[in-house]
Structure 1
Amino acid sequence: MRKRTVYVWIVAIVCFVVLMIVTPAIPQNEAYHDFADHREFFGIPNTLNVVSNFPFLVIGVVGLVLCYYRNYFKLSMQGELWGWTCFYIGVAAVAFGSAYYHLKPNDARLVWDRLPMTIAFTSVMSIFIIERIDERKGTISLIPLLMTGIISIFYWRFFDDLRPYALIQFVPCIAIPVMAILLPPMYTHSSYWLWAAVFYLLAKVEEATDKVIYEWTHHIVSGHTLKHLCAAMVPVFLTLMLAKRSIETERQSLLQTWRVSWTKVKENGSLVENYTCSYSTVPVVESP
């Protein structure tokens, strides 16, 4: 098992090195800072893009408190507690980092927007490894994953190359839904992971269509503002999952659960009621 883990890490590192060699650098596009909504209210520049980060602070603080308040989330392993602590710290820090960036968007401030998001991403990956693969490996991976995320941010800042940061964002977006579907969960309510993934995907679409949405809504709200609100739904769903879940006694993946449900639906749909009919002989009466 230990050899297999080493092989996995070697393959991952080799793939990363090859990717860095064969792909060109991805510089930060300065047009990224040109958001659709520049309106100012109450003396706050880019007001809606700034204040729409407030939900991150609320859910981050709530989640962090519940992690430690009488073990409300019923976290059974120390690694889980550390992972979720880092996650909620990252979520709460997004509120400050993103608000700071949107007050005056530029590359220097963008570091403080992306850094807490990266902490949240990498913490979730560690949590998933703990829950779905192995507790010890997941706990050990927390620090290396966090450091990898932080290094990716500073690599972009100093070398103007977004490739490592893009991987940090891209890999969890693919790996977490796939792992949620294929690997048996330790806890119930595993489908909340998929709801969180859906809202994150929606947030990315809204980010890409910032100006389009601003035009569609007749300059009421921009896509980037909606992106903040949808992205904040990710920790909301994960917090609901933590509050509701319990230990899964019969561990089976979501894919297996769906197969069983689909089989039952098909069987119910193919059931045909059988009717037994008996016929009696009708006497023939001859006419006189």
Structure 2
Amino acid sequence: MISTFCHLLSPNHKLIQVVVVMANRTVMVWIVAIVCFVVLMFVTPAIPQDQEYHDFADHREFFGIPNALNVISNVPFFIIGVIGFILCYYKNFFKLSLQGELCGWTFFYIGVAAVGLGSSYYHLEPNDARLVWDRLPMTIAFTSIIAIFIIERIDERKGTYSIIPLLLVGAVSVLYWRFFDDLRPYALVQFVPCIAIPVMAIMLPPVYTHSSYWLWAAGFYLLAKVEEAIDDPIYKWTNHIVSGHTLKHLCAAMVPVFLTLMLAKRDIITERISLLQVWKMSGTKYKRNGD
């Protein structure tokens, strides 16, 4: 009887050990990330908000709306955010199958819709106080996307549990900038996903088809950042028809558009293969056909 009890206990004991090891690894990852962030904050100088940032090239007023095109070009964010939010709950239209996905995508589309409102509010009268309501919803979209990627590509449970902490990190980064006039935390929240998501999309095997849409979304966001940087030159090149910042809004809005198309089209993959492996196999096949 004792031997039977020990036999039953042994597998459970091993399972507990595995769970403890995984938990310890997760804690270690967070500790390393926090330590790296603290070190980075000590060794790099603060980045204050440049007040010239608020001086956009296009100040034209239409229909009584100041900075009209920079305001109106935010409307697509609101539209796609509302549509995406509705489709998340409409008869499982997006075929979400993993734990936490619904929560992650819900926050993403809330963030996108809120960007449309917050950015419009900011561009009516650009200043630091209003910029908070532009950046805060953007962090909701950025951080929820990271959580979704963790859920899909790394671990469902860890990704689900990371949604709220990541959202809080995003909110704190904006508040830190507002109270201490230091953009470093916000810059990390904005640019880490720009690097991490394309890399993970290429390297890690997906659960669903149409994974390349992630790269299209990343490409449009990169284009949007370029257009933002050359706001005034684009305004001059187009003979004062449209500014770089207006085009930035339109290109950035293509990110949720492509992600929504991906969600609508995708299916569960039976054999998980990363994009990198697919490209390697396609390259090998092309070489063989060429020979």
Identity of aligned residues (%): 80
Structure 1 or 2, whichever has the larger Rg, is 1
5 Å-filtered alignment, 1:1-288, equals: 1-270=22-291
Could you give the per-residue CA deviations for residues 196-240 of structure 1, whole angstroms, max 9, x where no partner exists?
000000000000000000000000000000000000000000000
What one-letter code is carried by the residue in structure 1 that aligns with 2:210? H
In structure 1, distance between residues paired with 2:25 and 2:282: 34
The Cα of 1:34 is off from its aligned counterpart by: 0.3
What one-letter code is carried by the residue in structure 1 that aligns with 2:36? C
More helix by share: 2
In structure 2, distance between residues paired with 1:9 and 1:266: 44
What one-letter code is carried by the residue in structure 1 that aligns with 2:33? A
The Cα of 1:126 is off from its aligned counterpart by: 0.2
Could you give the per-residue CA deviations for residues 107-136 of structure 1, whole angstroms, max 9, x where no partner exists?
000000001011000000000000000000
The Cα of 1:139 is off from its aligned counterpart by: 0.2
Q: Are the aligned partners of 2:99 and 2:157 in contact in 1 as well (CA < 8 Å)?
A: no
In structure 1, distance between residues paired with 2:191 and 2:263: 24
The Cα of 1:5 is off from its aligned counterpart by: 1.6
Could you give the per-residue CA deviations for residues 47-84 of structure 1, whole angstroms, max 9, x where no partner exists?
00000000001100110000000010011134000000
The Cα of 1:101 is off from its aligned counterpart by: 0.2
The Cα of 1:30 is off from its aligned counterpart by: 0.1
What one-letter code is carried by the residue in structure 1 that aligns with 2:146? M
In structure 1, distance between residues paired with 2:29 and 2:290: 45
In structure 2, distance between residues paired with 1:28 and 1:123: 25
Could you give the per-residue CA deviations for residues 85-107 of structure 1, whole angstroms, max 9, x where no partner exists?
00000000011100000000000
Aligned residue pair count: 270
The Cα of 1:10 is off from its aligned counterpart by: 1.2
In structure 2, distance between residues paired with 1:184 and 1:93: 31
In structure 2, distance between residues paired with 1:147 and 1:5: 18
Segments of structure 2 that go 5 or more residues without pairing to the other structure are 1-21
In structure 1, distance between residues paired with 2:122 and 2:70: 10
In structure 1, distance between residues paired with 2:180 and 2:200: 33
Segments of structure 1 that go 5 or more residues without pairing to the other structure are 271-288
Q: What TM-score, normalized by structure 2, do the two folds share?
A: 0.92
Q: Specify the SS of the correspondent of 1:4.
A: helix
* 1:285 corresponding residue in structure 2: none
In structure 1, distance between residues paired with 2:257 and 2:171: 24
What one-letter code is carried by the residue in structure 2 that aligns with 1:147? L
Q: What TM-score, normalized by structure 1, do the two folds share?
A: 0.93
